[in-house]
Amino acid sequence: MTLGFDCATKLTEKMARDLKGAGFEYAARYLGESWKSFDKKEAEIIQKAGIKLISIFQKSANKLSYFTEKQGSMDGKDAEKWAKAVGQPEGTAIYFAVDCDMTGKQMSTIQSYFLAVKKQLPSYKVGIYGSYAVMYAMENYADYFWQTYAWSRGEVAPFIHMYQHENNIIIEGVNIDRNRVMQSPGHWGSETTKINKYTVQQELGAFMTATDAKVGNNQKGIVKPGTYSIFNTSQGMINVTKEEGKPGSWINPHQETVHIVSSGETLTKIAKTYSTTIQAIQAKNPQIKNINLIYAGQVIKI
């Protein structure tokens, strides 16, 4: 299990070293100019200690009235400004909090806020912190997801990147909240200059959201074979792009390939096309009893 923490304490070199020694790999700290925010010097201290840094932007966000479209625009602009001020690399994440219990129709208000945030934050990916219900309501409105146990009633969303499971504990003299890091959370540090790549071996469906890719709904086109940068991952799906740092298309890496038989095609030719064997195709298609009896228009799983 990969350990992370978030805190409002400005970390010294000793604090960062001690927390790294206690097994923490990630630190989530606040952007801005408040008593709890970090500056460029602290960012260097954290990374020098071998801890990966996660950025949070939060002014209030603890009541429904905070989440207006106007506030979202302001927060997006301010977050972009402060991220650049501390040297945060473009393409990494900034998390915005929904720090209260939200349910039902209230979610549409939160969605409007995040649409406005994203519009004003062209250089960074959007992360969201909140409850289990917020994670699901915001699944298509953010790039990264950080769930808190608070207001979650024991439920944990399967696609989240981090899970905050304990608040206000003292470790190595620092008051922190504990987090489990489930998958790469959009952090920054020395290794974030490396761009993850994914090779698409054959044509796959292109989708707008991870959920669409997973269930195969609302296909918007195709992703051709080639090597792509990975913009994001969610629910086992991958967002691939040719422009680093910009979202592309969601694909299902487990998507089943099918072949529509053309007139005159043989199973031998089809197997060669997909670099597979006749036996493998038969195993996928038990209806093919005789390899010499296939017909035009027949759908074959590869």
Residues 121-154 pLDDT 10s: 989 999 999 999 999 999 989 999 999 999 999 9
Q: Which residues pair with 260 in a beta bridge?
A: 299
pLDDT at position 263 = 83
Paired sense of beta strands 24-30 and 2-6, if any: parallel
The neighbour count for residue 253, using CB atoms within 10 Å, is 14
Residue with tokens 């991870």: 210
Q: Where are the domains of the chain?
A: 2-193, 197-251, 258-301
The burial of 31, by beta-carbon neighbours within 10 Å (0-12 exposed, 13-18 middle, 19 or more buried), is given as: buried
Closest to 153 (Cα-Cα) out of 95, 96, 101: 101
Distance CA 140, CA 213 (A): 12
The neighbour count for residue 47, using CB atoms within 10 Å, is 17
Region for 73 from its dihedrals, namely left if φ exceeds 0, alpha if ψ lies in -120 to 50, beta otherwise:
alpha
pLDDT at position 254 = 73
Give the model's confidence band at 208: pLDDT under 50 very low, under 70 low, under 90 confident, else very high.
Answer: confident
Q: First CA to last CA across the chain, in angstroms?
A: 36
Domain 2-193 is of which CATH architecture? Alpha-Beta Barrel (3.20)
Query: Is the full-model pTM beyond 0.95?
Result: no
**Residues 222 and 252 sit within 8 Å (Cβ to Cβ):** no
pLDDT at position 245 = 66
Same fold, 2-193 and 258-301: no
Q: What's the full length of the chain, in residues? A: 302
pLDDT at position 256 = 66
Closest to 130 (Cα-Cα) out of 209, 210, 207, 66: 66
Domain 258-301 is of which CATH architecture? Roll (3.10)
**How far from the centroid of its chain's Cα atoms is residue 170's Cα?**
29
Specify the range with the lowest mean pLDDT, choosing from 47-61, 73-87, 169-183, 212-226: 212-226
Distance CA 44, CA 16 (A): 11
**Residues 229 and 247 sit within 8 Å (Cβ to Cβ):** no
Q: What is the mean pLDDT of the chain?
A: 90
**Residues 76 and 118 sit within 8 Å (Cβ to Cβ):** yes
**Residues 159 and 184 sit within 8 Å (Cβ to Cβ):** no
- What tokens does 283 get? 């195993």
Contacts of 20 (CB under 8 A, 6+ apart): 49, 50, 51
Paired sense of beta strands 299-301 and 258-260, if any: antiparallel
**pLDDT for 195 beyond 70:** no
